[in-house]
């Protein structure tokens, strides 16, 4: 079968490349702590604004995506990522924190749109037996962006051992790559033209009315499947403020932060792809795979975070910045491997969430609402966690909260995993939509 731009796989790979360029570069910046600035307070408060707006517009972005389609929804989101990176470049010269914080809020709007459209495409375009594989492909390509961004930052800042803000050249490179992703977004095919190799088209609803769309979104708050996953959604980005700002940003030198991030995001690539293959294994039914997946991520997060609690006892907020560097040798290896396992856990956790939601429906319109709801709850947690980090909460307290939230997610995920069916049941799928609005296209 030859190359087809409108094939589901090509479209998911394309959105992976777009996220490589935009969110991937953002992740590379954000994981340096404070967006690469010595004074991390501005970056932390920008993240509070970002995730607050993300929470609001994440919920509404399902409706926006279902009206505009993925091309324009993702294009607008990418433009917002460029604005935020530009604000950090501006801050290097003006120290205008208000502009950076406002740009963070605008990015929250754009990120809500981009990630809702991405989630709908990633979950709706593949066939049921390939959903884990498509999630793994996307996650690998997307995180290559963060790896590349971290390599760039590491190369530019290699000779820096003391804390210092990123240089203009780093931000300019990131902006350029984001610009490429923004342009690629304009090439995305409309969902109505996406076809499988045998000519089958993806499922999608007609856009009813704005009132009907808002009602469908609000019904998600009555859907037990969404409600039992709320703790899992809430915890899925909560730990970023602790990992990026406290562990990486506080404990290590600026160049070592970049090296750590190369390996953190590389761990995500391997973790997501390998875990996705387990979730797609056809030798057992889908419920068994769900239980396998939940068991794996539970064991991994418990082991990793217990190690993290012991590590956190080695430094605290009242001490001067340790500024540990990779040239310290053996003493650096342990914290590095812990940080890599944080990345692997993150990838597996979010891969499992997307796979569970993908098991609930095959309809792109319904899944865009699921993705928006997920991003809304996820961003509420992230906004709270970045604020907790910004106000100077003791580091051990942050670590314990992260661990507790992850643990609280397991009962709801188990309840849903036990009820996963081998094939999507139309009566279940139609919980959030009007039956007369569903069509094949």
Give the DSSP per-residue string, 186-221. TTPPPGGG-B-TTSPBPEEEPP--HHHHHHHHHGGG
CA dihedral 17, 153, 337, 303 (to 10 degrees): -60
pLDDT of residue 149: 81
Tokens of 19: 């996220």
Q: For residues 391 and 234, is the Cβ–Cβ distance under 8 A?
A: no
pLDDT of residue 3: 73
Inform me whether the pLDDT recorded for 438 exceeds 60.
Answer: no
The residues, ordered by sequence, that sit 6+ positions from 394 with a Cβ below 8 Å of its Cβ are 316, 317
Please give the biggest Cα pair distance in the chain.
Answer: 65
pLDDT tens digits along 64-73: 998 899 999 9
Inform me whether the pLDDT recorded for 440 exceeds 50.
Answer: no
Q: What is the C-alpha to C-alpha distance for residues 309 and 342, in angstroms, rounded to an integer?
A: 12
Mean pLDDT of 405-423: 93
Terminal Cα-to-Cα distance of the chain (whole angstroms): 22
Which is it for strands 438-440 and 203-205: parallel, antiparallel or unpaired? antiparallel
**pLDDT band (50, 70, 90) for residue 169:** confident
Mean pLDDT of 113-118: 94
**pLDDT band (50, 70, 90) for residue 34:** low
The residues, ordered by sequence, that sit 6+ positions from 379 with a Cβ below 8 Å of its Cβ are 51, 52, 54, 55, 58, 108, 112, 237
Polymer length of the chain: 441
In 3D space, the residue among 101, 137, 118 whose CA is nearest the CA of residue 22 turns out to be 118
**pLDDT band (50, 70, 90) for residue 31:** low
In 3D space, the residue among 59, 409, 58 whose CA is nearest the CA of residue 228 turns out to be 409
Which range among 77-81, 155-159, 312-316, 428-432 shows the weakest confidence by mean pLDDT? 428-432
Tokens of 259: 């090296």
Mean pLDDT of 52-66: 88
Which of the two residues, 146 and 355, has the higher pLDDT score? 355
pLDDT of residue 38: 46
How far is C-alpha 187 from the geometric centre of its chain's CA atoms? Answer: 23
**pLDDT band (50, 70, 90) for residue 427:** very low
Question: Measured at the alpha carbon of residue 80, what is the angle toward residues 389 and 383, in degrees to the nearest 5?
Answer: 20
Inform me whether the pLDDT recorded for 404 exceeds 90.
Answer: yes
Which range among 14-18, 163-167, 218-222 shows the weakest confidence by mean pLDDT? 163-167
pLDDT of residue 162: 60
The residues, ordered by sequence, that sit 6+ positions from 191 with a Cβ below 8 Å of its Cβ are 69, 70, 121, 124, 202, 204, 364, 441
CA dihedral 21, 277, 420, 415 (to 10 degrees): -80
pTM: 0.86
**pLDDT band (50, 70, 90) for residue 102:** very high
**pLDDT band (50, 70, 90) for residue 414:** very high
Mean pLDDT of 170-175: 87
Q: What is the C-alpha to C-alpha distance for residues 46 and 97, in angstroms, rounded to an integer?
A: 9
In 3D space, the residue among 370, 363, 419 whose CA is nearest the CA of residue 128 turns out to be 363
Q: Which long-range contacts (CB under 8 A, 24 or more apart) does 283-292 make?
A: 285/422, 286/359, 286/420, 286/421, 286/422, 287/417, 287/418, 287/419, 287/420, 287/421, 287/422, 290/355, 290/356, 290/359, 290/416, 290/417, 290/418, 290/420, 291/414, 291/417, 291/418
Inform me whether the pLDDT recorded for 254 exceeds 70.
Answer: yes
Inform me whether the pLDDT recorded for 400 exceeds 90.
Answer: yes
Query: pLDDT averaged over the chain?
Result: 87
Q: What is the C-alpha to C-alpha distance for residues 168 and 264, in angstroms, rounded to an integer?
A: 24
pLDDT of residue 33: 55
pLDDT of residue 4: 87
Inform me whether the pLDDT recorded for 209 exceeds 80.
Answer: no
Inform me whether the pLDDT recorded for 409 exceeds 50.
Answer: yes
């Amino acid at each position: 079968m030859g190359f087809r731009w409108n094939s589901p796989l090509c479209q998911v790979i394309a959105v992976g490349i777009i996220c490589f360029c935009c969110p991937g570069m953002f992740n590379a910046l954000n994981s340096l702590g404070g967006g690469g600035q010595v004074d991390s307070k501005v970056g932390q408060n920008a993240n509070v604004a970002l995730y607050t707006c993300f929470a609001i517009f994440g919920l509404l972005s399902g409706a926006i995506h279902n009206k505009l389609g993925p091309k324009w929804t993702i294009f607008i989101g990418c433009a917002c990522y460029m604005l935020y990176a530009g604000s950090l470049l501006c801050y290097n010269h003006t120290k205008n924190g208000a502009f950076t914080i406002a740009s963070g809020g605008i990015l929250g709007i754009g990120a809500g749109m981009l990630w809702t459209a991405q989630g709908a495409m990633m979950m709706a375009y593949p066939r049921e037996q390939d959903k884990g594989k498509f999630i793994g492909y996307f996650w690998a390509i997307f995180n290559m962006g963060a790896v590349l961004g971290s390599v760039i930052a590491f190369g530019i800042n290699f000779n820096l051992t003391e804390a210092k803000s990123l240089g203009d050249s780093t931000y300019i490179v990131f902006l350029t790559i984001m610009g490429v992703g923004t342009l690629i977004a304009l090439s995305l095919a409309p969902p109505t033209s996406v076809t499988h190799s045998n000519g089958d088209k993806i499922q999608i609803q007609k856009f009813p009315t704005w009132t009907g769309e808002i009602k469908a979104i609000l019904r998600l708050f009555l859907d037990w499947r969404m409600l039992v996953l709320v703790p899992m959604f809430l915890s899925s980005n909560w730990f970023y403020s602790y990992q990026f700002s406290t562990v990486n940003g506080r404990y290590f030198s600026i160049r070592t932060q970049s090296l750590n991030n190369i390996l953190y995001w590389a761990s995500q690539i391997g973790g997501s792809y390998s875990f996705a293959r387990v979730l797609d294994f056809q030798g057992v039914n889908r419920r068994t795979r769900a239980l396998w997946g939940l068991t794996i991520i539970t064991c991994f997060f418990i082991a990793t975070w217990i190690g993290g609690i012991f590590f956190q006892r080695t430094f605290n907020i009242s001490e001067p910045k340790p500024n540990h560097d990779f040239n310290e040798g053996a003493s650096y290896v342990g914290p590095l491997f812990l940080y890599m396992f944080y990345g692997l856990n993150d990838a597996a956790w979010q891969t499992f969430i997307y796979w569970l939601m993908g098991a609930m429906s095959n309809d792109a319109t319904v899944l865009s609402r699921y993705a928006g709801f997920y991003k809304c709850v996820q961003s509420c947690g992230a906004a709270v966690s970045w604020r907790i980090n910004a106000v100077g909460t003791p580091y051990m307290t942050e670590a314990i909260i992260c661990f507790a939230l992850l643990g609280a997610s397991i009962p709801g995920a188990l309840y849903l995993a036990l009820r996963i069916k081998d094939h999507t049941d139309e009566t279940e799928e139609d919980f959030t939509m009007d039956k007369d609005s569903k069509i094949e296209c």
